[in-house]
């Protein structure tokens, strides 16, 4: 659904992929029934690996479509949350 479950405010020199891990760990501590995360391609490596390794929680990565603009399901949820 894209409900906001936790917030972390940090200095601008901490990359979103690193702070995303902090947020996800806090979310999993508060809501251990979370079944999956949605994220964009920037979270593909360290974030995705950590969620699967530590929580056995898959990460649904939205893909860019080459050559054209298209609406991608759930992409707006990620973008809205960062806005």
Instruction: Read off the pLDDT of residues 3-45 as tens digits, 9 standing for 90 and up.
Output: 788 888 888 888 888 888 999 999 999 999 999 998 888 888 8
43-74: pLDDT as tens digits: 888 899 999 999 999 998 877 767 766 776 66
Q: Answer left, alpha or beta for residue 26, where phi above 0 means left and psi between -120 and 50 means alpha.
A: alpha
Does the reported pTM lie above 0.85?
no
Which residues make beta-bridge pairs with 60?
Answer: 38
């Amino acid at each position: 659904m894209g409900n906001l479950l936790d917030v972390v405010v940090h200095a601008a020199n901490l990359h979103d992929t690193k702070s995303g891990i902090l947020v996800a760990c806090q979310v999993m501590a508060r809501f251990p029934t979370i079944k999956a995360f949605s994220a964009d391609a920037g979270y593909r490596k360290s974030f995705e690996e950590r969620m699967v390794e530590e929580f056995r929680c898959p990460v649904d990565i939205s893909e860019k479509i080459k050559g054209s603009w298209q609406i991608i399901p759930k992409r707006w949820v990620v973008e809205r949350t960062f806005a």
